[in-house]
Amino acid sequence: MVSNRFQGQRALVTGGAKGIGAGIAERLAGEGAAVVIADIDEAAGRPLAERLGSVFLELDLTNTAAVEHALVDEPPFQILINNAGMDQHAWFTETSPAQWQALLAVNLTAVLAVTRAVLPAMQSAGYGRLVHIASEAARLGSAGGAVYAASKGAVLAFSRSMARENARYGITSNVIAPGPVETPMLKEALVDGGDKLYRAMVGATLVGRLGRVDEIAAAVAFVASDEAGFITGEVLGVSGGMGCGQ
Question: What domains are there in the chain, each with its CATH number?
Answer: 10-180+212-238 (3.40.50.720)
- pLDDT value at position 3? 73
Q: What is the pLDDT of residue 89?
A: 84
CA distances from 211 to 5, 78, 179, 184, 202 (A): 24, 28, 7, 13, 9
Please list the pLDDT of the chain residue by residue as tens digits (246 residues).
Answer: 557 999 999 999 999 999 999 999 999 999 999 999 999 999 999 999 999 999 999 999 999 999 999 998 899 999 999 999 998 889 999 999 999 999 999 999 999 999 999 999 999 999 999 999 999 999 998 888 999 999 999 999 999 999 999 999 999 999 999 998 887 766 666 666 567 777 888 888 898 988 899 999 999 999 999 999 999 999 999 989 987 755
The angle that helices 110-125 and 64-71 make with each other, rounded to 10 degrees, is: 30
Query: Annotated catalytic sites, by residue?
Result: 148
Q: Are 136 and 177 in contact, with CB atoms under 8 Å apart?
A: yes
Give dist(CA 216, CA 237) in Å, integer: 9
Q: What does pTM read for this prediction? A: 0.93
